[in-house]
C-alpha cells in the first residue's frame, strides 16, 4: 500500500519520520535496529516497528514542538573539529618515533577517527530521542510492524550506486591523508564518514513510497 513520508521537527528529524497510511499516522525510528547505520541496505529487507499517533495535538507537537528542544548542529561541528585536532596532535608525535611505532600510531589515529565519528553519530541520535520524549512517550503508543519498500526502482539504483561511491571516496580521502598528510583530506574523510553513517536515514525520503504491514499471528 502507498505511504506518505513526512519530516518531523528539525530537532528530531535525523532519527524519526512520520508515515501517513490510509488516513492514519505513524512514527518510525530510522535508527532502529542500531546496526542499520552500518548496513543501510538492510532497511528495505526487514520489518520495522511503527508507533501509531492518534492524538492530533501530539501530531502537531511532533511537527512543530512548543517545548524547549536540544540542538545538535553545533555538536556536529564541535565533534568533527575535535576529531581533526586530536588526530593532528597524535600525528605530530609520530615524527619523534621509529617507523614501526609510527605505523602503530597510524592505526591508532584511524581507530580514533572511527570511534569518534560513531560516538558523535550515536550522541546526536540520542539528542533526537530526548527531544521526541519531551513530546510523546513511544511506549504508550500502539505498535505495528511493517516493511518499507524503496520509493522506486530508479531510487534504488541511484542509492545502490551512490552509497558505494561515497564509501570509496571516504576511503580514498583517509588513505590520501595518511599518505601525504594533507589536513583537507582528513577533514573531507571525517565529514564523508559521518555522512555515510546517515545512509539509513536516506532510505526514506519525503514523498510517497510503498509499505506492507506484517500480519500479526494469533494464538489458536
Among 55-59, 113-117, 215-219, the range scoring the smallest mean pLDDT is 215-219
Asked if residue 179 is part of any domain, the answer here is: yes
Asked if residue 209 is part of any domain, the answer here is: yes
- Residue 99 Cα to chain centre, angstroms: 37
Asked if residue 220 is part of any domain, the answer here is: no
Among 76-80, 148-152, 200-204, 207-211, the range scoring the smallest mean pLDDT is 76-80
| Res. 167 pLDDT band, cuts 50 70 90 | very high
Residue in 159, 138, 161, 139 with CA at minimum distance from that of residue 150: 159
- Structural domain boundaries enclosing 66: 2-213
What is the count of structural domains for the chain?
1
Q: How far apart are CA 133 and CA 141, in angstroms?
A: 12
Asked if residue 219 is part of any domain, the answer here is: no
Residue in 57, 29, 22 with CA at minimum distance from that of residue 43: 29
Asked if residue 109 is part of any domain, the answer here is: yes
What's the pLDDT tens digit per position in 10-40?
889 889 999 999 989 999 999 999 899 889 9
Give me the residues paired with residue 67 across strands.
Answer: none
Amino acid at each position: 500500500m502507498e505511504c506518505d513520508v513526512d519530516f518531523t521537527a528539525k530537532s528530531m528529524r535525523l532519527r524519526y519520520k512520520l508515515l501517513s497510511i490510509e488516513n492514519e499516522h505513524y512514527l518510525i525510528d530510522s535508527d532502529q535496529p542500531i546496526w542499520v547505520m552500518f548496513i543501510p541496505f538492510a532497511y528495505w529487507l526487514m520489518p520495522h516497528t511503527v508507533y501509531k499517533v492518534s492524538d492530533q495535538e501530539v501530531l502537531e507537537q511532533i511537527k512543530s514542538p512548543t517545548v524547549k528542544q536540544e540542538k545538535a548542529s553545533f555538536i556536529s561541528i564541535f565533534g568533527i573539529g575535535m576529531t581533526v585536532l586530536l588526530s593532528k596532535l597524535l600525528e605530530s608525535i609520530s615524527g619523534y618515533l621509529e617507523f614501526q611505532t609510527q605505523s602503530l600510531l597510524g592505526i591508532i589515529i584511524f581507530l580514533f577517527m572511527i570511534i569518534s565519528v560513531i560516538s558523535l553519530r550515536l550522541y546526536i541520535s540520542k539528542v533526537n530521542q530526548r527531544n521526541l520524549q519531551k513530546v510523546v512517550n513511544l511506549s504508550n503508543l500502539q505498535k505495528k510492524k511493517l516493511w518499507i519498500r524503496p520509493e522506486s526502482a530508479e531510487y534504488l539504483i541511484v542509492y545502490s550506486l551512490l552509497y558505494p561511491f561515497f564509501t570509496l571516496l571516504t576511503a580514498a580521502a583517509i588513505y590520501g591523508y595518511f599518505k601525504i598528510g594533507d589536513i583537507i583530506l582528513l577533514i573531507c574523510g571525517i565529514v564523508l564518514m559521518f555522512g555515510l553513517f546517515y545512509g539509513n536515514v536516506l532510505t526514506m525520503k519525503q514523498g510517497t513510497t510503498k509499505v506492507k504491514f506484517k500480519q500479526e499471528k494469533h494464538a489458536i
